[in-house]
Structure 1
């Protein structure tokens, strides 16, 4: 293996939570723990990105964000990695292609919130992503309308699994996605930075 990244056995069901984690917070932990349970995942990996291509300003140094993320993790099946920095990728599609090459027998599920689903059509190669990796959406009930009326949800409406079949997602053949409602921790990285809780 060319990268210093988590190990995974063949057939493992791994959830991927990508983001800048600037800073990491209880909401990230909440989503990760919910994903493990709701989708029957073996592990969730936090992919701490070098920077978000959709944001004009850069995040705090990745070493600081990695340290903060690792300090938050108490669950043995949630792991933190700077894989994107090691692989030199900034876009999700490129990251997934390298992960697929490194772990050809692992079942990956991309995890996101409803806000990401609503804007997913703005992501690079979003159509390819939906066709090549399972997608689990974990969201507040109040975010449902905008997300499920989004271009991505409409484009892939026939690939959506009902919430009652969420445990099938991790081994479903892409395109496959599932929207799960759950109570969310009402906090965001943006709020923490605005409140002075995280200095870049």
Structure 2
């Protein structure tokens, strides 16, 4: 099995999340993509975060795809950091070839993640194009530290079969959608307030 792991708060989930998953499914020839809806991102303010059950339900309503599974795994196994989640999955699914899926905006801040170098050594990574962040994501501290492990985009299909560290950039999505912007609209007081 070739499985893409797509983690995030998904608050709210949107069509660019789905498009990134579909792009990874197709270009990496994945069998499945698992959305790992996290209880909370340690690097973000989670004070106004929608409840986990609501975010999972919204993600499931959005995806409706036979090869995309939406989970609240991190809450179940009580992990807080991506490194711990991936380690847990690899220990329990030894025959599965996992690939971590992230947007270019996350590559930009990847060096701030707990044990980010460990994550890069656990699983190959695919970085999906984002409008704006894609322009400078490769110049980020993590992008520079991992530059020698970057594959040409046409070799992205081989990522699940590669030993980490290995990563590739997938171009073509360029969606302007952002959960941060959608939350700001959601939380904006109505004119009647």
| TM-score calculated relative to the size of structure 2 | 0.92
Q: Report the Cα offset of residue 155 of structure 1.
A: 1.2
Tell whether 2:40 aligns with 1:51.
Answer: yes
Distance 2:7 2:128 in 1: 14
182-191 or 124-133, larger mean C-alpha shift:
182-191
Aligned with residue 90 of structure 2, among 76, 79, 100: 100
SS of the residue 2:183 aligns to: helix
Q: Is the contact made by 2:5 and 2:33 (CA closer than 8 Å) also made in structure 1?
A: yes
Distance 1:193 1:153 in 2: 28
- What residue in structure 1 maps to residue 55 of structure 2? 65
- What residue in structure 2 maps to residue 113 of structure 1? 103
Aligned with residue 133 of structure 1, among 104, 119, 123: 123
Q: Is the contact made by 1:19 and 1:52 (CA closer than 8 Å) also made in structure 2?
A: yes
SS of the residue 1:16 aligns to: strand
Structure 2, unaligned stretches of length 5 or more? none
Structure 1, unaligned stretches of length 5 or more? 1-11
Q: Is the contact made by 1:17 and 1:111 (CA closer than 8 Å) also made in structure 2?
A: yes
SS of the residue 2:186 aligns to: coil
Gap change, CA 1:69 and 1:141, over 3 Å in 2: closer
- What residue in structure 2 maps to residue 16 of structure 1? 5
Distance 2:11 2:175 in 1: 16
Gap change, CA 1:66 and 1:15, over 3 Å in 2: same
Q: Report the Cα offset of residue 184 of structure 1.
A: 2.8
Gap change, CA 1:141 and 1:22, over 3 Å in 2: closer
Gap change, CA 1:77 and 1:39, over 3 Å in 2: same
Q: Is the contact made by 2:108 and 2:133 (CA closer than 8 Å) also made in structure 1?
A: no
Q: Report the Cα offset of residue 193 of structure 1.
A: 1.5
Post-superposition Cα deviations, 1:79-119, rounded to whole Å, max 9, x if no partner, equal 10110000001110011111111111100000001110011
- What residue in structure 2 maps to residue 86 of structure 1? 76
Q: Is the contact made by 1:39 and 1:170 (CA closer than 8 Å) also made in structure 2?
A: yes
- What residue in structure 2 maps to residue 35 of structure 1? 24
Superposed CA RMSD in Å reads: 1.7
- What residue in structure 1 maps to residue 181 of structure 2? 191
52-61 or 168-177, larger mean C-alpha shift:
52-61
SS of the residue 1:175 aligns to: coil
| TM-score calculated relative to the size of structure 1 | 0.89
Q: Report the Cα offset of residue 60 of structure 1.
A: 1.0
Post-superposition Cα deviations, 1:21-70, rounded to whole Å, max 9, x if no partner, equal 11111111110001101111111110000001001224211111111111
